[in-house]
Amino acid sequence: MFEPINNSWRHACLASACTAAVICSGPAGAQTEDWGFLSNGTNNTVNAAAHVQGTLYIGGTFTQADGQVVNRVARWDGVGWAPVTGSSGTGVASTVQTMMEFGGDLIVAGNFTTAGGVPANRIARWDGTSWSAIGNGFNNNVLALGVYQGELIAGGQFTMSGSTTVNRIARWNGSEWLPFGDGFNNNVRTLGVYQGSLYAGGTFTSSGDLIRNRIARWDGSLWQALGTGLPGAPNVMHVHDGLLHIGGTFTSAGGITGVGNIATWDGSGWGSVASGLNGAVNSLVTYNGQLTAGGSFTTTGGGATVNILRVATFDGESWYAYRSAGMNGEVSQLLVMDDTLFAGGSFVAAGPWVVNRVAFWPDGAPACPADITGDGKVDVFDLLQLLSQWGSCP
């Protein structure tokens, strides 16, 4: 039902960004291209992105993309952004918070009550031709989607699906939404699967009578704690190099201090990712084999003063900027498709280029690790920064 676009988006994107190439001279003449733009972007924030059968989709609070009405959901048609229109209407009636592929269809969730003009309580399915509801949906905002044991999972602010109590997390068995035990006492903001178990993270502090500080693991009957948990809310989970990486707004994890808004869980204990980052981590992906983060951060954590404006990559030892000036506003979502990294958020510029809330990093171009100051070039100031840190590593 979907029409694959066979990489035609890449040729259009690269053509539109051909003037955006910037050389970052580093060791052995290293080069990197800059962020590119996808047509004219959107008129408001991009919260989510997904690719389904070769098509890139975005969702958020925007109502227009490329100057045309799309109502919070848009697809890339190979040349520009196009509406997602069924027989009864276009897009959804209110904010899209999250989206993903499930069963070959696009699942969109947020705070809307209609999709394409069809009643759909905060979660809907697009099959390439039409919009439809998924059961009774929910009585409040959906913030996270996942898949566990072949079933679609939803998390958020909701407490009910129709007359069924679900307490902020539920599973779709193909005909109705069902609860996971006692659920949680506050919002679920992210879902992940690690070592065969479902994990949930959010602002909650308990499941029933059990203390569960903002992150928990489902054991088949109860939500289990991960040590002492987190002091602040996680926004994203991602498995990379055999570890569950959790990003959000917290400065410690399970009693380990100085983690800088990102930590790891190995199934039994917590760890850090260098000194982390100095602001919220909203999205994590693996790109070119390396962990890549998007969020509101502007530098690395700890005592370092390296500019990393809202998108960063981790090489196993240190965080590096993806481009000189980075984004001028928050990055909400990262997505890897056809070896290309996409970013969406509230930013309107990426480096010197106007991108209007959605941008791409083309063709697997690497970061520039030698650009220590993050100003887009390797020069004496990078050497001075290196010399200022000279000495024994702690």
Lowest mean pLDDT among 20-29, 54-63, 235-244, 370-379: 20-29
Q: How far is CA 149 from CA 70, 291, 375, in A?
A: 34, 26, 46
Q: What does each C-alpha distance from 379 to 101, 189, 370 come to in angstroms?
A: 44, 42, 9
Segment 28-35 shows an average pLDDT of 46
Residues of the chain with pLDDT > 70: what percent? Answer: 83
Q: Residue 11: is its pLDDT beyond 60?
A: no
Domains of the chain, CATH where assigned: 8-388 (2.130.10.10)
Instruction: Give me the sheet containing 197-202, strands edge to edge.
Output: 188-194, 197-202, 215-218, 223-225
pLDDT at 31: 29
Residue pLDDT, tens place only, 282-321: 999 999 999 999 999 999 887 656 789 999 999 999 998 8
Cβ neighbours for 163, distance < 8 A, ≥ 6 positions apart: none
**Percent of the chain residues topping a pLDDT of 90:** 75
DSSP code at position 324: S
pTM for the predicted model, two decimal places? 0.86
Confidence of residue 137 (pLDDT cuts 50, 70, 90): very high
